[in-house]
């Protein structure tokens, strides 16, 4: 293991210790917005612990798939995989969100009109499926790697409301946005560099509205990602944020005081 990889792992370990010490639960939430949202999030998790049976069968199958893909990384790469050749099973294990976080993203999606949904980073498509399952309109999912996109396309062939957008997000996202009037939900889980993540946010900000939700993945992944999270929290219009360690969630509701929470969320 290289020194840089060790340093990255130690950074995340230190970040988790800080998160563990700072995180709170519903007992510390005093504003009605945060309290009711967090309560409903935990109820939703309890009610759907087994997840979507079809998507969980897919996760099980992918977790056993030893096929090797040549991955084209456009961003910061992976802490847990060396080189560009990775098995499907390792991608499923190390790069796909767990069921509990799939349910978290799905829950926050349902807090929006769910008409125009954007996912930056398709990977194998498991999370895309969870988003599509609750999307009234269309999920537009962006992926730069052709081999991942091919697998995700096969995995999600039964979801008619998923639209795949291939290519480098730096090129494809601006083109996509020209044809939009607003975005209800966006999950940013690609590239993982400060410059790219900040640029994605700046591009989509004019398309957000009061009931939009923005999710930024891996906010404690590196010093770069931690800093970009701190910057985004200060963007205009942000009324509330929730830090769940694996991701940060931003809200834009009017009439509530600006508040930032670090919250416990069980992962499994």
Average pLDDT for residues 13-38, to the nearest whole number? Answer: 90
User: Is 80 exceeded by the pLDDT of residue 268?
Assistant: no
* pLDDT tens profile 197-254: 999 999 999 999 999 999 999 999 999 999 999 999 999 999 999 999 999 999 999 9
Percent of the chain with pLDDT over 90: 81
**Residue 121 — very low, low, confident or very high, per pLDDT cuts 50/70/90?**
very high
Compute the mean pLDDT over every residue in the chain, rounded to the nearest whole number. 92
At residue 141, does pLDDT exceed 70?
A: yes
In the chain, % helix, strand, coil (3-state, to 5) comes to 45, 15, 40
Among 173, 240, 193, residue whose Cα is nearest residue 212: 240
pLDDT computed for residue 264 by the predictor: 95
The pLDDT of residue 26: 78
Distance, CA of 183 to CA of 185 (rounded, Å): 6
Per-residue pLDDT band at 7 (split at 50, 70, 90): confident
18-22, 40-44, 83-87, 147-151, range with the lowest pLDDT:
83-87
Beta strand spans in 45-183 (E) = 68-70, 85-87, 116-120, 138-143, 162-166
pTM of the predicted model, to two decimals?
Answer: 0.93
Per-residue confidence (pLDDT) for residue 73, from 0 to 100: 65
How high is the pLDDT of residue 171?
96
pLDDT at 83: 59
Backbone angles phi, psi at 191, to 5 degrees: 70, -55
N- to C-terminal Cα distance for the chain?
A: 27
Q: What is the pLDDT of residues 71-85, one digit of tens each?
A: 876 555 554 444 578
Tens of pLDDT, residues 87-117: 999 999 998 999 999 999 999 999 999 999 9
Contact between 72 and 9 (Cβ < 8 Å):
no
Return d(Cα 93, Cα 22) in angstroms, integer: 27
Share of the chain above pLDDT 70, in %: 94
Confidence grade of residue 256 (pLDDT, cut at 50, 70, 90): confident
| pLDDT higher than 80, residue 12 | yes
């Amino acid at each position: 293991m290289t020194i840089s990889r060790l340093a990255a792992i130690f950074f995340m370990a230190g970040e988790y210790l800080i998160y563990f010490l700072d995180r709170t639960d519903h007992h510390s939430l005093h504003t009605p917005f945060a309290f009711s949202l967090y309560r409903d999030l935990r109820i939703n998790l309890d009610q759907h612990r087994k997840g979507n049976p079809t998507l969980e069968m897919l996760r099980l199958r992918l977790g056993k798939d030893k096929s090797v893909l040549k991955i084209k990384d456009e961003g910061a790469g992976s802490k847990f995989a060396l080189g560009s050749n990775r098995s499907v099973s390792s991608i499923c294990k190390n790069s796909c969100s767990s069921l509990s976080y799939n349910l978290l993203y799905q829950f926050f999606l349902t807090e929006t009109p769910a008409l125009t949904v954007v996912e930056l980073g398709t990977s194998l498509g498991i999370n895309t499926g969870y988003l599509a399952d609750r999307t009234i309109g269309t999920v537009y999912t962006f992926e730069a790697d052709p081999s991942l996109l091919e697998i995700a396309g096969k995995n999600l062939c039964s979801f008619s409301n998923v639209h795949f957008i291939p290519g480098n997000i730096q090129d494809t996202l601006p083109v996509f946005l020209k044809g939009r009037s607003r975005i209800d939900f966006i999950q940013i889980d690609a590239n993982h560099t400060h410059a790219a993540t900040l640029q994605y946010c700046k591009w989509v900000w004019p398309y957000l509205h009061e009931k939009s939700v923005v999710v930024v993945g891996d906010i404690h992944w590196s010093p770069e990602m931690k800093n970009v999270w701190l910057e985004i929290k200060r963007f205009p219009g942000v009324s509330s944020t929730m830090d769940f360690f694996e991701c940060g969630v931003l809200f834009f509701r009017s009439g509530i005081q600006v508040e930032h929470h670090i919250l416990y969320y069980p992962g499994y």
